[in-house]
């Protein structure tokens, strides 16, 4: 797992992302803080694509060594969030919380349902310059939201 985390963190950092935390075998990252970044959405998408490419190479190594391959799913959602030192007086972390963070997590999970690798919300698609190929997945209602979201596979 350390080899996987090393490769994925490198792609996140290369695109100016903040690696928030490891959650089991998952990675949570964000863009746009602590410094504002007008290209944060594009950088997140570039990182996601680079991570998938890095995983292909990593899985080749794993196969050669006889190790199990890793499959990765990514959810990207663009929106406001609270960023800072969050927690209690006994323990806190520099992290990000809010609806957009929750939705990104839900989108990541939807990849399993749709057999995709990267799913983004409409708010992400609207911020991009049209340089990427997207396929409409449909409208889904995610936990914590009353209205359906339009989602797209990258």
- Map out the domains of the chain as residue ranges: 2-153
Give the pLDDT confidence score for residue 116 in this predicted structure: 97
> Tokens 């049209």 — which residue?
130
CA separation (Å) from 125 to 55, 60, 68, 76, 120? 24, 31, 34, 10, 7
- The pTM score is 0.94
Task: For residues 131 and 135, give the distance between their C-alpha atoms in angstroms, rounded to a whole number.
Answer: 13
Give the pLDDT confidence score for residue 19 in this predicted structure: 97
CATH class of 2-153: alpha beta
Segment 38-60, tens digit of pLDDT? 999 999 999 999 999 999 999 99
Here the tokens at position 138 are 């449909």
Residues of the chain with pLDDT under 70: none
CA separation (Å) from 122 to 23, 41, 94, 103, 152? 26, 12, 27, 11, 7
Give the pLDDT confidence score for residue 146 in this predicted structure: 86
Q: CB neighbours of 146 closer than 8 A, spacing ≥ 6? A: none
């Amino acid at each position: 797992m350390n080899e996987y985390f090393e490769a994925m963190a490198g792609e996140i950092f290369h695109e100016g992302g903040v690696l928030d935390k490891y959650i089991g075998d998952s990675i949570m990252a964000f863009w746009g803080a602590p410094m504002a970044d007008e290209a944060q959405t594009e950088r997140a998408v570039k990182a996601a694509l680079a991570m998938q490419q890095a995983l292909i190479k990593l899985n080749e190594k794993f196969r050669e060594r006889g190790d199990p391959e890793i499959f990765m799913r990514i959810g990207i959602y663009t929106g406001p969030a609270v960023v800072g030192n969050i927690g209690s007086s006994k323990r806190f972390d520099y992290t990000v919380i809010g609806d957009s963070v929750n939705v990104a997590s839900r989108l990541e999970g939807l990849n399993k349902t749709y057999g995709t690798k990267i799913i983004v919300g409409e708010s992400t698609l609207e911020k991009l310059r049209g340089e990427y190929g997207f396929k409409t997945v449909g409208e889904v209602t995610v936990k914590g939201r009353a209205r359906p979201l339009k989602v797209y596979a990258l």
